[in-house]
Amino acid sequence: MDDILLTRNDLTEIQRVKDFLLQQFRIKDLGDLKYFLGIEFSRSKAGIYMFQRKYTLDILQDTRLTCALTNKFLMEQCLNLTPDDGEFLPNM
């Protein structure tokens, strides 16, 4: 079994490709994208967002580290950066 993700702005073209694939292979359309290869997708008016929470939790579970103690995080948490923060690095 192989997974494929079709994406395009033209829904007619997507349907044409799906119809062609259906003629060549046994396929199943799973509808709107929610998960793909362990990555969660969410859609809003602002765009499409990808989350790796489930993927990360699956790795922790597979390695039996879900109950492991956490360590201090060396970077400031909940930091909101803007394009105007900091100084530009020189071109080399």
pLDDT digits (tens, 9 = 90+) for 33-66: 888 888 899 988 888 888 888 888 888 899 988 8
Is residue 2 in some structural domain? no
Q: Which domain holds residue 39?
A: 11-62
Task: Please give the tally of structural domains in the chain.
Answer: 1
Q: Which of 35, 73, 72 is nearest to 54 (CA)?
A: 35
Q: Is the pTM of this model over 0.75?
A: no
Strand partners, 47: 44
Residue 25, pLDDT > 80, answer yes
Q: Over the stretch 8-22, which tens digit does the pLDDT of each residue have?
A: 889 999 999 999 999
CA distance 74 to 84: 23
Q: First and final CA of the chain: distance in angstroms?
A: 47
Question: Does residue 21 lie within any of the structural domains?
Answer: yes
d(CA 72, CA 5) in angstroms, rounded, equals: 38
Within a domain: residue 53? yes
2 has a pLDDT exceeding 70: yes
pLDDT at 74 > cutoff 90: no
